[in-house]
Amino acid sequence: MISQAPLLDVPGLPQPASDSNRLSPSDRAFHDWYRFVLSFPPHLVRQYLGIFGIGPGQTVLDPFCGTGTVLVESKKLGINSIGVEASPMAHFASTVKTDWDADAGGLVSYARSVAALASDALRADGTYGRDSFDLVSPAQFKTLSDEQSQLLLTESISPLPLHKTLALLEAISSLGACCYEPYAKLALAKALVSSIGNLQFGPEVGVGPRKLDAPVVDCWLNAVEGMARDLSGVEEYEHARALPHLGDAREVVGSLAPESVDAVITSPPYPNEKDYTRATRLESVLLGFIRNKDELRAVKRGLLRSNTRGVYKADDDDQWVSQHPEIQRIADEIEARRIALGKTSGFERMYARVTRLYFGGIAKHLAELRTALRPGAQLAYVVGDQASYLRVMIRTGQLIAEIAESLGYELVGIDLFRTRLATATREQLREEVVVLRWPGRR
């Protein structure tokens, strides 16, 4: 059971507030190249690196590294880092964001050459100017295959911006593979979600007002030039190693040497109905990371089971928590409420199962992680309470703490990071940092 360790009262931690997750202007270097909408903030990483006393010569791990917030912040501070991420788009982003070897001037020259090629192609087909939508038949636009289109949220990008984006990708490809190509593609990923596409981000990813046109090449070029500005200032930072691995956080042993990790700072998915692949679907498809439903299914199989849209018949992570009474009680309450409310959809029938699978996956991850931790390693897991499943409260932090203690970890405490308003219940939910210590094998 959970120990009676109190909430930590640590000087310098942000006050719980609705804006405590925002990226501050002083943190934008490298982080701003491409940032997952649900990322946690760099200042929180810095604070726990400081609390844990982690410095150069030590190694921090983020086993759910997303787009690389922990890796970038560690690299800025001269601390070696390792990441594990199952989404190929997010892994690509973390890889590019921690590669600071490109020449800034060379990157700008390359980007301007690409921009010229793309602009010439768009002028030639009459779609360069903002008024061109009325001048060219949409039948002439470049488009995706039916298989690719079916992967996207409907209306997530309008025909003309899509045409221009595909022309830009052709221009990038025409210059051949070179050291600047990954930066160009990541800049396009950022521009797609921020300026080109129709996506909007709130509690869920959705589609906003349609943009009939967008200055695709200019948006992309601005993003590349922002990268170059950051690269031109890399000498102010210590240079440390950052190693993002494409893999499943529940199977980390293959990516980590025994007793090689001094600290873990991470934010796993929360147990809710957010399909995390939807938030990066547009750029994943356009950049070729997901080309069909089979590849999308393969990505989902490598993710922690946190929503019913990524659950499969053969999943068995729930066996890891089959003897945990509170998790079983919560799952049973969800199922009883489903029956009482007459909810019969296929997804609703899986709410109880995905709850067990989620915490089972966390247990499997924590169990496997133990061999990679040095004795005395410190861990911080940023997680949030949830009530997505028929308004049954899931105290995620408390349950993860209990699981960790059952696996030999010591619970140091649970810090309140911020509170947020639940969409369904309008209740304030806690986002917390579960702080653990690995004492070593007894």
Residue 178 phi, psi (nearest 5): -155, 175
* CA separation for the pair 413, 411 (Å, rounded): 6
Question: Do 336 and 414 fall into the same domain?
Answer: yes
Question: Do 201 and 324 fall into the same domain?
Answer: no
* CA separation for the pair 419, 43 (Å, rounded): 17
**Res 184 pLDDT > 90:** yes
Work out the angle at residue 303's Cα, subtended by the Cα atoms of residues 302 and 306, and round it to the nearest 5 degrees. Answer: 150
Question: Do 150 and 190 fall into the same domain?
Answer: yes
Sign of CA pseudo-dihedral 417, 418, 423, 425: positive
The total number of structural domains in the chain stands at 2
Q: What's the pLDDT at 234?
A: 87
> First-to-last CA distance in the chain?
19
Q: Work out the average pLDDT over 163-168.
A: 96
**Res 230 pLDDT > 80:** yes
Q: Which residues contact 152 (CB under 8 A, 6 or more apart)?
A: 144, 281, 282, 285
Question: Do 126 and 52 fall into the same domain?
Answer: no
pLDDT, tens digit, 9 for 90 and up, residues 308-352: 999 999 999 999 999 999 999 999 999 999 999 999 998 999 999
Query: What is the bridge-based pairing of β-strands 428-438 and 373-384?
Result: antiparallel
Q: What's the pLDDT at 86?
A: 95
Q: Work out the average pLDDT over 182-206.
A: 90
Residue 266 lies in a domain: yes
Question: Do 334 and 402 fall into the same domain?
Answer: yes
**Res 18 pLDDT > 60:** no
Question: Do 131 and 50 fall into the same domain?
Answer: no
DSSP reduced 3-state for 400: helix
Residue 108 lies in a domain: yes
Report the residue count for the chain: 442
Question: Do 216 and 139 fall into the same domain?
Answer: yes
Residue 265 lies in a domain: yes
Both structure tokens of 99 = 């590669």
Q: What's the pLDDT at 22?
A: 65
pLDDT band at 139 (very low <50, low <70, confident <90, very high): low
Indicate the average pLDDT of the chain.
89
**Res 6 pLDDT > 50:** no
pLDDT band at 13 (very low <50, low <70, confident <90, very high): very low
Both structure tokens of 11 = 């000087």
Residue 150 lies in a domain: yes
**Res 4 pLDDT > 50:** no
Question: Do 312 and 391 fall into the same domain?
Answer: yes
Q: What's the pLDDT at 140?
A: 81
CA dist list (Å): 438 to 64, 214, 263, 379? 19, 51, 9, 8
Going by the DSSP 8-state scheme, the letter that residue 153 receives in this structure is: P
Q: What's the pLDDT at 105?
A: 96
Both structure tokens of 272 = 């809710």
What type of residue is 92? F
Question: Do 154 and 188 fall into the same domain?
Answer: yes
Residue 390 lies in a domain: yes
pLDDT band at 27 (very low <50, low <70, confident <90, very high): confident
Residue 11 lies in a domain: no
pLDDT band at 137 (very low <50, low <70, confident <90, very high): low
Residue 412 lies in a domain: yes
Of 231, 264, 284, the residue that ends a domain is: 231
Question: Do 253 and 313 fall into the same domain?
Answer: yes
Both structure tokens of 152 = 């996207």
- Return the closest-CA partner of residue 164 out of 139, 194, 196, 134: 196
Both structure tokens of 163 = 């045409």
pLDDT, tens digit, 9 for 90 and up, residues 70-84: 999 999 999 999 999
pLDDT, tens digit, 9 for 90 and up, residues 358-414: 999 999 999 999 999 999 999 999 999 998 898 999 999 999 999 999 999 999 999
Question: Do 185 and 262 fall into the same domain?
Answer: no
Question: Do 212 and 246 fall into the same domain?
Answer: no
Residue 300 lies in a domain: no
* CA separation for the pair 43, 383 (Å, rounded): 16
Q: What's the pLDDT at 14?
A: 38
**CATH, residue 337:** 3.40.50.150
Q: Which of 21-35, 230-244, 349-363, 401-415 has the lowest mean pLDDT?
A: 21-35
Going by the DSSP 8-state scheme, the letter that residue 82 receives in this structure is: E
User: 381 near 434, Cβ under 8 Å?
Assistant: yes
Q: What's the pLDDT at 129?
A: 67
**Domain assignment of residue 66, given as a range:** 25-90+239-272+307-438
pTM: 0.91
Q: What's the pLDDT at 205?
A: 81
